[in-house]
Structure 1
Amino acid sequence: MLATIGITGMLAGCSDTDDNANSDVPDPDTPVSEFLVDHPVDEPKAFSSSHLCGVCSMAVTDYSDRNAQLAHENGDGMMFCSPGCLFAYYGVPDQFGAPESDIVGAWVTDFETGSLVDGFDAVYVLEHDEHRTDDPMGLDPRVYVDMDDARKYIGQYDDLDEDDTVALSEVGEDIARMYRGDRLL
């Protein structure tokens, strides 16, 4: 009997009445992801306690020394608790409900100064050793606005060198998986 009710319910949901004839067509006024926020695009948006990370759902204001954000050309923005979550979204945006609009702005928190800096100008050290970090999500790249600061960090460890630095534009699925592989399909 439950199978009959389940099938009947599924078929009822598929009926083509005037009330739901276009139910499969997304409403253009509805955000693609529940985590998208209105964003000014050309400058960072103030972080709010209501903002949740678009990758892991953690409150972004809980990690003010790590948070990041980006903006799409259409004015949609996404907030992140950490640069690793930013990498996941940037590297594989379709897995996080990204709009079909170019990413035109990014801001990340510099590990040296604690300031929010332009994410496209920043240098990212691809840290890969969890034992020397205390990151909220396990492991994050290190963000520096100044290459000299990145070199100082690299110089502390024998297993890192300048080949372990990237620009945001170089982040793809392979790098995203280094940091949030458990959040990707």
Structure 2
Amino acid sequence: MTRTSLTRRRLVVAAGTLTAALAGCAGGTDDAAEPTSTATPTEQSVALTDPAPIPEDASCAVCNMMPAKFPDYNAQLTVEVGDRAFFCSSGCLAAYYVDPGNFEPSHEGATFAGLWVHDHETKELIDARSAWFVRETNAERVDDPMQRNPLPFAAESDAQAYVAEYDDLSESDILRLTDFDMDLATFYRGRFFE
């Protein structure tokens, strides 16, 4: 092949690539940039209002532990802008829920599309917004990650039964997700707040 035909071939390939790129850009009339997502292909195929399988390489958005290693305790949430965060436990989710901007500055003041935790007894994944949480303060009673977490229950009666087992717990230790505040978040994960 001569030098001239090689140069022409390169020009044709370059022109074809440029034409394809311009055609892709001309496809829409909206000048707004498309949001980028850090979600894996599996996560992208799951609606923000549904939990996703936890990737083996995902790290907890609060403590950096590996949530996939704790299938009976891990948790997750989605932010309406399209992000998904994974946690090793309900305590890390609670800390993030109270102050998401502390852990991900772009999530300051975020609105959550979904939040999920594992029921303490059944280990089933449940919606954290409808769960009942026991403010467990004794790490020796529970063998879960980080050793101190609010205990989620799908049914209020299960939370009440748990509280009734211990003299140091009372009905006032049963909370809803909306009751979580900075005092609770720092009690469970204080060392992760700046």
TM-score bracket, shorter-length normalisation: 0.7 to 0.9
RMSD: 2.0
Structure 1 residue ranges without an equivalent (≥5)? 1-26
TM-score, normalization: structure 2?
Answer: 0.74
Give the deviation of 1:104 after TM superposition. Answer: 2.2
| Within-5 A mapping of 1:3-22 | none
Structure 2 residue ranges without an equivalent (≥5)? 1-32
Name the amino acid aligned to 1:99: H
Q: Are the equivalent residues in 2 in contact too, given 1:65–1:114 (CA < 8 A)?
A: yes
Q: Are the equivalent residues in 1 in contact too, given 2:78–2:85 (CA < 8 A)?
A: yes
TM-score, normalization: structure 1?
Answer: 0.77
Return the match for 2:150 from 121, 138, 141: 141
Q: Are the equivalent residues in 2 in contact too, given 1:70–1:103 (CA < 8 A)?
A: yes
List per-residue Cα deviations over 1:51-109 (Å, max 9, x = no partner).
11100111111111101001111111100000000011001111101525311210110
List per-residue Cα deviations over 1:84-136 (Å, max 9, x = no partner).
00011001111101525311210110011111011100001000012222222
Q: Are the equivalent residues in 2 in contact too, given 1:69–1:79 (CA < 8 A)?
A: yes
Q: Are the equivalent residues in 2 in contact too, given 1:40–1:75 (CA < 8 A)?
A: no
Return the match for 1:85 from 79, 89, 92: 92
Structure-1 separation of matches of 2:119 and 2:83: 23
Structure-1 separation of matches of 2:34 and 2:95: 25
Q: Are the equivalent residues in 2 in contact too, given 1:53–1:81 (CA < 8 A)?
A: yes
Q: What residue number does 1:45 align with?
A: 52
Q: Are the equivalent residues in 2 in contact too, given 1:70–1:79 (CA < 8 A)?
A: yes
Q: Which contiguous aligned blocks of 4+ residues in structure 1 show a shift greater than 6 angstroms?
A: none
Name the amino acid aligned to 2:112: I
Q: What residue number does 1:126 align with?
A: 135
Structure-1 separation of matches of 2:113 and 2:170: 29
> 1:46–1:157: structure 2 CA closer, same or farther, 3 Å change rule?
same
Return the match for 2:107 from 89, 99, 102: 99
Structure with the higher fraction of residues in helix conformation: 2
- Bigger relative contact order (CA 8 A; separation at least 6): 1
Q: What residue number does 2:19 align with?
A: none
Q: Percent same amino acid among aligned pairs? A: 37
Structure-1 separation of matches of 2:161 and 2:107: 38
Give the deviation of 1:175 after TM superposition. Answer: 0.9
Q: What residue number does 1:178 align with?
A: 187
Give the deviation of 1:162 after TM superposition. Answer: 1.2
Larger radius of gyration: 2
- Residue 80 (structure 2) pairs with residue 68 (structure 1): no
> 1:112–1:50: structure 2 CA closer, same or farther, 3 Å change rule?
same
Q: What residue number does 1:3 align with?
A: none
Structure-2 separation of matches of 1:126 and 1:42: 26
Structure-2 separation of matches of 1:184 and 1:30: 27
